[in-house]
Chains A and B, each alone.
Chain A
């Protein structure tokens, strides 16, 4: 049976009906991971033994009549989440041998929900990238076309779910790192409101922007996983003390009358024609479902990429200072002195893109430049957040493309960082303003998936998910599998 063609929700139902055991499912996915070998390079670590132990426990729960909708469902975690006793590498040489002594809150919560851990997925090094080409363990390939990138930084999670190596996976999104790979691999990916999911145990890239979320096959799956991951965590000062709605129960909310604002600034120059057509087609579908569509303008939004490329590097330059070769992580051979220990451990342990961002951040925070760059960017960030706030006075959700083009070729954009950064032009705004946003597939362009994006006010995850669920009941883009992996 093609378990990998089913959604996590469907697998959960099959498990509870005892049509299949978690161990069978787990072995199925482990075999597919094994069979994929290095073709996709989606996993850094496969935790087969742990997965089978988890599965046996889940089967016992189900046999005892206990467990929830995710009990026994296999998943994968992006290798940015700390997992006790398991390698946690952030796809960096710096942490290539790092075994975390503790679990991230997200890992704890999904384990408590009964999920089975298949392994840790490849990613851009320290989540810095939009193509998964900066990984120390090599690029991840897009299952729709293995000469192309899967997007990034959660590229391993995206490739794994798209190729049916895992029913769903966690990701993190600092500037689009869940939504852009979801769009490029035909998945539904959600980045919730900043503070909705605990950041404890998620290795920080840019602390005021990072947020954990889900890459899945449907809005329903995203709702199930997000419900399990979310919630207040006293170990994270930026975690919000607010009850988590049952996102799954809210999926059937009617779409009729929903006011959808089309972001004018997202449909200009740079948006590839096929992508524009597919996204416009999705908009028409929303209209047919009863949405009221209006055009809105967010004039400061075009400044989101330059704002991000000041704020994120600034925070990362500081966050990554703890990697010094003293308490954990890579240490250079035979350091001559303390300075040598620092510079060589960090110089050898980090890849070029990470170094570039650390240096950008160091520069924009340094004496004489702070006001011109960092402080200025923080002010522009206010303008962008205010634009969103104003827009949400008249609409319920904002709509646009997720990425300007379908997946591009491996190696195509590595020479110019700015060209690469512009991939996130539509996704970064939601991170700057801390808003929930979702990408879902809406077509194929030359056999490559493209996605639309919905952005909502803070804590409107239910609305994003139910709107997408309504769309997915009428369409089947989300059920398409890459031909080579069907």
Chain B
């Protein structure tokens, strides 16, 4: 990227709320049902039917608002956004427009250099999801599945505070972490439960006014968001440096071709004719109810990270990684409880070897093949000196693969560390006898040969000798 351009990004994140039933009907929101079996009269927009608002969707939206320090509106209003599209059964989407339920919040993100930046959240509003158009196997036609129609969405709109694709990702991940902490969204991006549109523009460095923006739709993975934004920025720079100008439009990211292209179909009718939905009354939440909801909030990621630094003494980086996932942090804290301390050691194991195994097998921490009890058992054997770090890695892998606990693996493999001084001394003497030349050289001043003797002793014990004891005994015996 040329240096004289500044990138300005705002994200609109759509989080499907994890209610059992839809926002305005009693249909199930479960994913993956046969087409249209979860679309009832209300979802289909049948003549004469009416919407009734789901209490849980309201509660979830309000919890989100409280979690980002926003105003949870005493009074909010549902409006109709009018446009024709086959996946939109009523010809309008019920959405909050002028008076959203969540107004004026903020989240902190951590930048690559470790510093913190505040990102404004303009608003978050409740609305209904649309259905899906399917194009496969139907020549010249599309098939409409309305199972998703009416699934509650929280649309979270950021201020144009993001200045790079990296910041956009950090912000999106932060919101992803939050909605999962709050248990208001499953965050499943493959299934479309968490997706986003990005508004991207560029301007000359130092300019105050914003450039013309393009909205990129269909961003359903963190990787796509980063790639799509970078491509769009490059495209806009090309256009402007080539003397052209940016046209405000909606563009679709095509992950296959790794490019964005104009969506003309969305351009033609963007006069949405919003007006208050006469089928729904103003949503009024009283202050007492909002406060009682605040009391039910879990410890949030920033507070948790802070506590891991101040109370557990973890480095900020470790605290950030662990608290980015409520489940990971819960796992870590459970192990701490079982071991009775050792925060840095536990953090290293959770973030290091255990996470590597999870990644290798594509599992979430909740599905870990090593339970918190078993990891605590392993760490106890490190703490009591039974296992060296290197042996412990081997043990963990076996525990993972065989589903057994640490002691069983140690027993079966005979991996117990040798800490018997006499036994180690016997090995050392044997090594000295077998290598008289090196011994003489060492004694005549070649200090570097110390490592050679350590290696020989470890080799002879199959790595099981306690390294600290080996060092100490070797120093003593080699000196003669």
Q: Are A322 and B41 within 8 A (Cβ)?
A: no
B128-169 CB mask vs A (1 if < 8 Å, else 0) is 000000000000000010000000000000000000000000
Q: Are B280 and A237 within 8 A (Cβ)?
A: yes
Partner of A327, one of B44, B80, B280: B44
Q: Can you name 15 extra interface pairs (CB under 8 A) apart from A101-B41, A327-B45? A: A82-B48, A88-B47, A202-B48, A237-B52, A238-B50, A315-B275, A321-B82, A321-B90, A322-B45, A322-B47, A326-B89, A327-B46, A367-B271, A367-B273, A374-B275
Listed residue (B46, B82, B271, B281) with the most chain A CB atoms within 10 angstroms of its CB: B46
- Nearest to B272 among chain A residues (CB) is A367
Q: Are A366 and B271 within 8 A (Cβ)?
A: yes
Would you give the shortest CB distance from A148 to chain B, in whole angstroms?
Answer: 31
B66-110 CB mask vs A (1 if < 8 Å, else 0) is 000000000000001010101001111000000000000000000
Q: Which residues of A contact B86 (CB under 8 A)?
A: 324, 326, 338
Partner of A98, one of B47, B49, B50: B47
Q: Which residues of A contact B238 (CB under 8 A)?
A: none
Q: Which residues of B contact A366 (CB under 8 A)?
A: 271, 273
Cβ-closest 6 pairs across A and B: A321-B91, A365-B273, A208-B278, A207-B278, A322-B45, A201-B48
Q: Are B279 and A203 within 8 A (Cβ)?
A: no
Q: Which residues of A contact B53 (CB under 8 A)?
A: 237
- Nearest to A365 among chain B residues (CB) is B273
B12-50 CB mask vs A (1 if < 8 Å, else 0) is 000000000000000000000000000001001111111
Q: Which residues of B contact A314 (CB under 8 A)?
A: 275
Partner of A82, one of B47, B91, B275: B47
Q: Decide if B298 is an interface residue (CB 8 Å cutoff).
A: no
- Nearest to A82 among chain B residues (CB) is B48
Would you give the shortest CB distance from B341 to chain A, in whole angstroms?
Answer: 55
Q: Decide if B389 is an interface residue (CB 8 Å cutoff).
A: no
- Nearest to B280 among chain A residues (CB) is A237
Partner of A318, one of B41, B82, B271: B82
Q: Decide if B51 is an interface residue (CB 8 Å cutoff).
A: yes
B271-289 CB mask vs A (1 if < 8 Å, else 0) is 1011100111100000000
Q: Are A328 and B84 within 8 A (Cβ)?
A: no
Would you give the shortest CB distance from B97 to chain A, in whole angstroms?
Answer: 12
Tell me the bound Cα distance from A321 to B90 in angstroms. Answer: 6
Q: Which residues of B contact A235 (CB under 8 A)?
A: 49-50, 52
Q: Are B278 and A365 within 8 A (Cβ)?
A: no
Q: Are A326 and B144 within 8 A (Cβ)?
A: yes
Q: Which residues of B contact A95 (CB under 8 A)?
A: 47
Q: Are B80 and A204 within 8 A (Cβ)?
A: no
Q: Are A324 and B50 within 8 A (Cβ)?
A: no
Residues 280-323 (chain A) with a chain B CB within 8 angstroms: 314-315, 317-318, 320-323
A319-344 CB mask vs B (1 if < 8 Å, else 0) is 01111101110000000001000100
Q: Are B281 and A237 within 8 A (Cβ)?
A: yes
Residues 197-245 (chain A) with a chain B CB within 8 angstroms: 199-204, 206-208, 234-238
Q: Decide if A178 is an interface residue (CB 8 Å cutoff).
A: no
B249-286 CB mask vs A (1 if < 8 Å, else 0) is 00000000000000000000001011100111100000
Partner of A237, one of B41, B44, B51, B273: B51
Residues 66-102 (chain A) with a chain B CB within 8 angstroms: 81-82, 88, 90, 95, 98, 100-102
Partner of A342, one of B84, B89, B281: B84
Q: Are A238 and B281 within 8 A (Cβ)?
A: yes
Q: Decide if A157 is an interface residue (CB 8 Å cutoff).
A: no
Would you give the shortest CB distance from A357 to chain B, in whole angstroms?
Answer: 14
Would you give the shortest CB distance from A426 to chain B, in whole angstroms?
Answer: 23
27 A-B pairs, CB-CB below 8 angstroms? A82-B47, A90-B47, A100-B47, A199-B50, A201-B48, A204-B47, A204-B48, A206-B278, A234-B52, A235-B52, A237-B50, A237-B51, A238-B50, A317-B82, A318-B80, A318-B275, A321-B82, A322-B45, A322-B47, A322-B90, A323-B47, A324-B84, A324-B91, A327-B89, A328-B47, A365-B82, A374-B275
Q: Given A237-B50, A238-B279, are A318 and B45 neighbors across the interface (CB < 8 Å)?
A: no
Q: Decide if A104 is an interface residue (CB 8 Å cutoff).
A: yes
Tell me the bound Cα distance from A331 to B89 in angstroms. Answer: 15
- Nearest to A233 among chain B residues (CB) is B50
Listed residue (B53, B80, B82, B278) with the most chain A CB atoms within 10 angstroms of its CB: B278
Q: Which residues of B contact A200 (CB under 8 A)?
A: 48-50
Tell me the bound Cα distance from A90 to B45 in angstroms. Answer: 16
Listed residue (A208, A234, A322) with the most chain B CB atoms within 10 angstroms of its CB: A322
Would you give the shortest CB distance from B246 to chain A, in whole angstroms?
Answer: 22
Q: Which residues of B contact A207 (CB under 8 A)?
A: 278-279
Q: Which residues of A contact B90 (CB under 8 A)?
A: 321-322
Q: Decide if A193 is an interface residue (CB 8 Å cutoff).
A: no
Q: Which residues of A contact B271 (CB under 8 A)?
A: 366-367
Q: Which residues of A contact B84 (CB under 8 A)?
A: 321, 324, 342
Tell me the bound Cα distance from A101 to B46 in angstroms. Answer: 10
- Nearest to B140 among chain A residues (CB) is A337
Q: Which residues of B contact A22 (CB under 8 A)?
A: none
Listed residue (A90, A234, A321) with the most chain B CB atoms within 10 angstroms of its CB: A321
Q: Decide if A362 is an interface residue (CB 8 Å cutoff).
A: yes
Q: Which residues of A contact B52 (CB under 8 A)?
A: 234-237
Tell me the bound Cα distance from A315 to B90 in angstroms. Answer: 13
Tell me the bound Cα distance from A81 to B281 in angstroms. Answer: 23
Q: Which residues of B contact A374 (CB under 8 A)?
A: 275
Tell me the bound Cα distance from A235 to B53 in angstroms. Answer: 10
Q: Which residues of B contact A234 (CB under 8 A)?
A: 52
Would you give the shortest CB distance from B94 to chain A, in whole angstroms?
Answer: 11
Tell me the bound Cα distance from A90 to B48 in angstroms. Answer: 11
Q: Which residues of B contact A237 (CB under 8 A)?
A: 50-53, 279-281
Q: Are B45 and A315 within 8 A (Cβ)?
A: no
Tell me the bound Cα distance from A236 to B278 in angstroms. Answer: 11
- Nearest to B279 among chain A residues (CB) is A207
Q: Are A203 and B48 within 8 A (Cβ)?
A: yes
Would you give the shortest CB distance from A425 to chain B, in whole angstroms?
Answer: 23
Q: Are A318 and B50 within 8 A (Cβ)?
A: no
Would you give the shortest CB distance from A40 to chain B, in whole angstroms?
Answer: 26
Q: Which residues of A contact B49 (CB under 8 A)?
A: 200-201, 235
A166-188 CB mask vs B (1 if < 8 Å, else 0) is 00000000000000000000000
Tell me the bound Cα distance from A479 to B91 in angstroms. Answer: 47
- Nearest to B265 among chain A residues (CB) is A338
Listed residue (A235, A238, A366) with the most chain B CB atoms within 10 angstroms of its CB: A235
Q: Which residues of B contact A365 (CB under 8 A)?
A: 82, 273-275
Partner of A102, one of B41, B51, B273, B275: B41
Q: Which residues of B contact A320 (CB under 8 A)?
A: 91
Residues 443-480 (chain A) with a chain B CB within 8 angstroms: none
Q: Which residues of B contact A327 (CB under 8 A)?
A: 44-46, 89
Q: Which residues of A contact B281 (CB under 8 A)?
A: 237-238
Q: Which residues of B contact A101 (CB under 8 A)?
A: 41, 46
Q: Which residues of B contact A90 (CB under 8 A)?
A: 47
Would you give the shortest CB distance from A346 to chain B, in whole angstroms?
Answer: 9
Q: Are A321 and B41 within 8 A (Cβ)?
A: no
Q: Which residues of B contact A82 (CB under 8 A)?
A: 47-48
Tell me the bound Cα distance from A199 to B91 in angstroms. Answer: 20
Tell me the bound Cα distance from A244 to B275 in angstroms. Answer: 32
Tell me the bound Cα distance from A235 to B46 in angstroms. Answer: 14
Q: Given A207-B279, A208-B278, A365-B273, are A236 and B47 neighbors across the interface (CB < 8 Å)?
A: no
Tell me the bound Cα distance from A322 to B52 in angstroms. Answer: 18
Tell me the bound Cα distance from A445 to B273 in angstroms. Answer: 46
Partner of A236, one of B46, B50, B274: B50
Would you give the shortest CB distance from A338 to chain B, in whole angstroms?
Answer: 7
- Nearest to B270 among chain A residues (CB) is A367
A252-289 CB mask vs B (1 if < 8 Å, else 0) is 00000000000000000000000000000000000000
Would you give the shortest CB distance from B30 to chain A, in whole angstroms?
Answer: 22
B184-201 CB mask vs A (1 if < 8 Å, else 0) is 000000000000000000
Would you give the shortest CB distance from B55 to chain A, in whole angstroms?
Answer: 12
Tell me the bound Cα distance from A99 to B72 in angstroms. Answer: 44
- Nearest to A201 among chain B residues (CB) is B48
